[in-house]
Amino acid sequence: MKESFTGKVYLVGAGPGDPELLTVKARALLDRADVVLHDDLVSPEIISLILPQTEIVNVGKRCGLKKITQNEINGQMIALAKRGLQVVRLKSGDPAIFGRLAEETDALEAARIPFEVVPGITAGISAAASLRVSLTDRRSSSRVVIVTGHPATDKEKQDKIEWRDLVRPESTLVIYMPGQNFSHLREELVAAGLASDVPAVLVSQASTPRQQQHCTTVGEVHKLQSVPAPAILLIGRSLERACQRSSVENLSLALDDADLVICSK
């Protein structure tokens, strides 16, 4: 009999990490869920909101020794929904931006499981908000190009990313999973014609207490150290204000240190 009451799968964006940046809908769905299947990158602050009676499954492909395949995740969602359960498939950021959403919805559709997609604040947009900058600016930046530092399509695994196509002075480049090879990235960006003084800001774990950001320029981007995921590298003239603020803050920190030295004499 249980098989006849099919449940539903909600593919929900968890946002960048701060529980306050969940949508009202995501928050309510978490409270109503029978099971939550979540990625590794969903923040511990959000996981801790889930009620004790709700089953929590980490299906993060990085966690533990056993590698969970996409097919296994699809199979779990389908099996749980067929048991009549309300399943929240919780993804860091927004499900439609580098979230492997299409593969999961294809599987759900093939199995005739009802599903809904609930958008979330994607990491790039959260990074911009935390820096208090706009990704577009009527005065300098008319477009936003969202790309991943890792090959995202199967085709790109053979080809390299065509930075030349992506890079324009009037674009803000938002690089998800920028990786660790910033020397290579610098070469690509400069070869693609980006001026070496264009600002670049690396933001890690935006919106959480662990957030860090590092302001630099395209010409110095190779000096960046790798940071904890989720990380976003923002590049473009629209970042200028963030870097100006950052240098003022660093200067004032340096002055504070100087005062401290004087006082301790």
114 near a copy of itself, rule: CB under 8 A = no
CB of 47 to a copy of itself, least distance (A): 16
CB of 188 to a copy of itself, least distance (A): 14
Residue 209 has phi, psi (to 5 degrees) of -65, -15
The token pair at 13 is 């964006």
- What mask of x and - would describe binding to a copy of itself in positions 24 to 43, judged by CB under 8 A? xx-xx---------------
The region of 75-83, 153-161, 215-223, 251-259 touching a copy of itself under the rule CB under 8 A is 153-161
Choose the catalytic residue: 18, 39, 77, 94: 39
Q: Identify which of residues 21 and 215 has a Cβ nearer to a copy of itself in the complex.
A: 21
Selected binder of a copy of itself within 73, 87, 113, 135 (CB under 8 A): 135
How far apart CA 162 and CA 155 sit, in angstroms, is 12
The region of 35-43, 79-87, 165-173, 209-217 touching a copy of itself under the rule CB under 8 A is 165-173
Largest CA distance in the chain: 81
How far apart CA 255 and CA 233 sit, in angstroms, is 29
45 near a copy of itself, rule: CB under 8 A = no
Choose the catalytic residue: 34, 61, 82, 137: 61
Residue 182 has phi, psi (to 5 degrees) of -75, -20
Residue among 74, 125, 126 nearest 100 (CA): 74
Q: Identify which of residues 129 and 220 has a Cβ nearer to a copy of itself in the complex.
A: 129
61 in catalytic set: yes
Contact 182, 227 (CB under 8 A): no
The token pair at 233 is 């590298």
